[in-house]
Amino acid sequence: MLICTLIIVLSANLFSSRPIGEIEFKNIIPGLTFIDPYWFEKISGIPFSSLEGAFWSLYVEFKFYLIAAFLYYILNEKKLTFSLFGLFLIAVSANQLNQTYNNSIIYSIHSISTHLSLGFFGWFASGASLYLFYKSKQMKWFICGFSMAMISSFLLYRDNYHTMVFAFAISFFFTLTFISPVIQKTLQNRVLMFVGFISYPLYLIHENMMISMVIDLSNLLPSIPLIMPPIMAISFVLLISYIISKYLENHIKNICKRLMDKHL
């Protein structure tokens, strides 16, 4: 995140068509701390936003890590899975009831659930169940993980049929990877392994950089085929992501480890 933040900040002026606009330096803070801009804005009264729209999921993950760590401390890993799914059900129920009833208690539960991102915890619960299946090979955990993913897909997107269908399809495919040797072998394809290797920095930097490059190249080279600007932009972002994953991240990580070993 540190490397990608620096690249985003230093390169922003090169991409004149960034959808998110010019960078405000205070907006570096949420990404580097993994804390939702909402909380900085609530505490300081100053408006904050993300450097990239894609960062939203990292804030959700960070909330999950904190809440799951606390629950794991007081529960065991099996109870943790169902506790996470219980929080998801509370969030979904509070959201539905809040739309129906004008009640301060329901609104408070809905508001807390929203700001803690509990509506996404069904996916985490599913992943935790599938991890237990991976460890134990007990089919009950596979069934739990599959069921939680399907229920999450339905409850989250029941008002949006097309999104719900895609959520079902992705959940179904993901759970099958745990039991299907054919899918496991397919996912070991060198191209997919490469994309997986660079996926984290690619996710962090792709949005504004890639969209801006497509627009700028289309304006700069209006005579080239329409397919070329996206191909060139995607290739560039893939290259940058590879350099980060292969060289920069490991190099800086090793420096940090040496500094920690020296002072601890």
Q: What angle do CA 131, 174, 81 make, to 5 degrees?
A: 35
C-alpha dist (Å) from residue 35 to 9, 29, 227:
19, 8, 37
Of 165, 186, 207, the residue at which a domain comes to its end is 186
pTM of the model: 0.89
Residues 114, 108 contacting (CB under 8 angstroms)? no
Six token digits for residue 200: 């984290």
22-26: long-range contacts, CB 8 A cutoff, minimum separation 24: 23/51, 24/49
103 in the same domain as 178: yes
177 in the same domain as 212: no
158 in the same domain as 107: yes
Q: What is the DSSP letter of 164?
A: H
221 in the same domain as 148: no
109-118: long-range contacts, CB 8 A cutoff, minimum separation 24: 113/87, 115/36, 115/38, 115/39, 116/63, 116/67, 117/36, 117/59, 117/60, 117/63, 117/64, 118/87, 118/88, 118/90, 118/91
Residues 26, 46 contacting (CB under 8 angstroms)? yes
Q: What is the DSSP letter of 247?
A: I
147 in the same domain as 69: yes
162 in the same domain as 64: yes
Domain limits at 233? Answer: 2-51+189-263
Q: pLDDT, tens digit, for every residue of 120-153?
A: 999 999 999 999 999 999 999 999 999 999 999 9
Residues 48, 37 contacting (CB under 8 angstroms)? yes
When divided into structural domains, the chain yields a total of 2
113 in the same domain as 63: yes
165 in the same domain as 148: yes
Per-residue model confidence as pLDDT tens for the chain (264 residues): 999 999 999 999 998 899 988 899 999 999 999 999 999 999 999 999 999 999 999 999 999 999 999 999 998 878 999 999 999 999 999 999 999 999 999 999 999 999 999 999 999 999 999 999 999 999 999 999 999 999 999 999 999 999 999 999 999 999 999 999 999 999 999 999 999 999 999 999 999 999 999 999 999 999 999 999 999 999 999 999 999 999 999 898 889 899 888 877
Residue type, 144: C
